[in-house]
Amino acid sequence: MLNHILQGKVIKGEAVGRTIGFPTANLKLTTVPKVKPGVYAALITLNNQSFLGLAYYGPRYIFGQKTNTFEVYLFNFNRQIYGQVLSVKLLKFLRVPQTVKNINALKKLLESDLASLNNYVILVDKNDKIIGVETKKTAHLGKAKLHRAISVQLFNEKKELLVQQRSAQKMLFPLYWANTVCTDVRPYETYLQAANRRLQEEFSLTAALKPLLKFTYSAQYGKAGSEKEIDQVFIGFSNVQPKPDPAEISAWKYMSLDQIKTFSGQLAPWFKILLKNLSVSDIFKS
């Protein structure tokens, strides 16, 4: 990680990024950056709030510019911040500047930048404040690093929960039984976006998910590594037939909460915590 910090005031630009879904903040920096031009994963601080995003230092070739400028794209951010000062910590170098011929090509390039972060997680402190990013594997080694995750509980009309047995290929807790789906939150995602993505990826399902609770836990799996997460729990309802991904799921079934609590299968540690906080009466009145 680089951890090079820059500061600057947000100034008006051409607002082209907004037309392709990537609104950027152009910064007038207080000092000339001593970093190589390119795109970086970045931690942006505004009024003591932390956001992840992309930072670009270099010429804006699409406008025919040759001098270096600096701009940032804040993930899941939609506020007017002209004239405000941002602090930008460069976390990871992603690529060198590339020439693009038109706006559509620029959009595809930025989408590729986001995809390059798919194997990263969001590091947070105990208050869930964003402090950086880390590769998914590294974040789970040893005693692990605290990061964001989600767990989805999907019920059917019989008040049964869709549960899965994790693939034997999982790095942590393979073949353990767990809730419907769970995953780490990617740097450009919200908790809800991660939950919807994983439900689609693992079971080809969609649902109107609602946040239920959030908890912090850690659990070690031998010498392989550990889970150390702030876990946002969602609930949803669906009677659509699941289509499980065999690369992720070894087995699956619907079970009532009472059946799960007496189930002989080995339960994942986060699932045990969830079961202590799941009540049929609370879930089905929401």
Burial group, residue 202, by CB count within 10 angstroms (0-12, 13-18, 19+): buried
Residue 16: half-sphere exposure toward Cβ, Cα within 13 Å: 12
Q: Rounded distance, CA 217 to CA 209, Å?
A: 22
Q: Give backbone dihedrals phi and psi of 16, rounded to 5 degrees, phi first.
A: -70, -40
- Burial profile 37-47: b = 16 or more Cβ within 10 angstroms, e = fewer: ebbbbbbbbbe
For the question of residue 229 being annotated catalytic, the response is yes
The single-letter code of the amino acid at 150 is I
Q: What is the DSSP code (8-state) at residue 267? A: B
Q: Rounded distance, CA 102 to CA 137, Å?
A: 36
Active site residue: 182, 189, 202, 227, which one?
A: 182
Active site residue: 134, 202, 227, 229, which one?
A: 229
Residues carrying an active site annotation: 182, 229
